[in-house]
Amino acid sequence: MKITVDLDLELREAVALYEREQVFVLTDENVRQNCLSIVQQTLSLPENNILVIAAGDENKNLDTLSWIWTQLSNRHATRHSLLINLGGGMVTDIGGFAASTFKRGIHFVNIPTTLLACVDAAVGGKCAINFNGLKNEIGLIKLPDEIIVYPPFFATLSEQQFLSGYAEMLKHGLISSDIDTNILLSFNLDEFFANISKPIITDEIGNESVNPFLENFIHMLSRSIEIKQYIVDQDIEESSLRKSLNFGHTVGHALETLSLHKGQALPHGYAVMYGMIAELYLSVAKLNFPTQKLQRVITFMIENYGKPSCQCKEYELLYDLMLHDKKNLNSSEVNFTLLADVGRPRVNQIASKNEIFEALDFLLNL
């Protein structure tokens, strides 16, 4: 994994092995507008080698996958071709799947352009499409040959998109250590937003250097990816440790699905942020997680993410959604990853319906 403000250099290195082969870039229509030109300045690929798909998770489906396979085939990609997935998690998920299956697998590089993809989707090898109305129903696990992160791409994300990815960074901090968590909770997001589009600054005598706000952030980003990569390396098939990455996601997925049903889609990271508070409440009740640490996360949530909007009458539905979560070991119990403390995740924790309702009450009455 490379985090860089010199995309040109890293891209050249990544494609050097493919000098005699075809290189393809897969991207979506928004990313083409916002990010493709800088990649093309280095690669200068013929139009024929740029595959553009429609943006949005609803297009992460079999039709799009089939279209990508068809284009690779019609444009004479070989077993030795390279596919560069330039985009958010939708592109890295479907692109990773297409590359891993085309001619039984070709090489692929991920260049994530959203923060969520950078710290989560593009790392860890899970590639999938939505199928039969179910999210990520068909897929496989295949690690990319390289991941190149170029933080200036985040300049065109909305604040909401950025915060959505930041919640996953906070999750990595909470399952990992107090040091990482404290850095994330005290990072000045407003100052960062004001500086993100100025990756390089020039002083009065013309010397150029990396903007210190970006430099701090790059350090946090690299820690976050390292945490995920470390966990994935220990347990790629998710038999135990990798489940710690599900922290916040049992309640989070239920809130996300409910909001979708209500037609007020909640960004994934916001749902995870709220889910983490409910699951920290369960962690306090069941594993003695320190309450003052929970309080700090609540303050951070309220300042940056606001509060979730949900009603008591929706608890049954939320509970039902949690029961159907594919992470459960059986269909009568809800399985959580909870924390005994920051950095001490405990997987396969069961909570009763009453305990879950109490946690929802706590979250919704903050």
Ligand X SMILES: NC(=O)c1ccc[n+]([C@@H]2O[C@H](COP(=O)([O-])OP(=O)(O)OC[C@H]3O[C@@H](n4cnc5c(N)ncnc54)[C@H](O)[C@@H]3O)[C@@H](O)[C@H]2O)c1
Q: Which stretches of the chain bind ligand X, using CB under 6 A? A: 28, 30-31, 34-35, 55-57, 60, 87-91, 93, 113-114, 116-117, 120-121, 124, 126, 136, 153, 156-157, 161
Residue in the shown chain whose Cβ atom is closest to ligand X: 89
At closest approach, how far in Å is the CB of 133 from ligand X?
A: 14
At closest approach, how far in Å is the CB of 89 from ligand X?
A: 2
Nearer to ligand X, 197 or 352 (CB): 197
At closest approach, how far in Å is the CB of 136 from ligand X?
A: 5
Nearer to ligand X, 93 or 180 (CB): 93
14 Cβ contact list (under 8 Å, min separation 6): 84, 109, 146, 148
> C-alpha distances in angstroms, 113 versus 31, 151, 279, 284, 306?
8, 8, 29, 36, 25
Nearer to ligand X, 32 or 293 (CB): 32
Nearer to ligand X, 112 or 345 (CB): 112
At closest approach, how far in Å is the CB of 197 from ligand X?
A: 12
- The backbone torsions φ and ψ at residue 110, rounded to the nearest 5 degrees and listed phi first, read -100, 130
At closest approach, how far in Å is the CB of 155 from ligand X?
A: 8
Other Cβ atoms less than 10 A from the Cβ of 189: the count is 15
At closest approach, how far in Å is the CB of 366 from ligand X?
A: 26
Nearer to ligand X, 120 or 146 (CB): 120
At closest approach, how far in Å is the CB of 240 from ligand X?
A: 17
> Which residues sit opposite 84 in a β-bridge?
25, 109
Nearer to ligand X, 137 or 316 (CB): 137
- The backbone torsions φ and ψ at residue 259, rounded to the nearest 5 degrees and listed phi first, read -65, -35
Best CA proximity match to 83, nearest among 293, 74, 94: 94
CA distance 189 to 195: 10
| Helix spans in the chain (H) | 7-16, 29-43, 62-74, 89-101, 115-116, 159-176, 178-186, 189-195, 212-234, 249-261, 268-287, 291-305, 315-323, 353-364
CA distance 347 to 67: 39
Best CA proximity match to 153, nearest among 88, 58, 244: 88
At closest approach, how far in Å is the CB of 29 from ligand X?
A: 7
Nearer to ligand X, 21 or 29 (CB): 29
CA distance 65 to 212: 41
Nearer to ligand X, 213 or 289 (CB): 213
Q: Using a CB cutoff of 8 Å and minimum separation of 24, what contacts does 102-107 make?
A: 102/69, 102/72, 102/73, 102/77, 103/77, 103/78, 103/79, 104/79, 105/79, 105/142, 106/72, 106/77, 106/78, 106/79, 106/80, 106/81, 106/82, 107/18, 107/80, 107/81, 107/82, 107/83, 107/145
Nearer to ligand X, 127 or 298 (CB): 127
At closest approach, how far in Å is the CB of 364 from ligand X?
A: 25
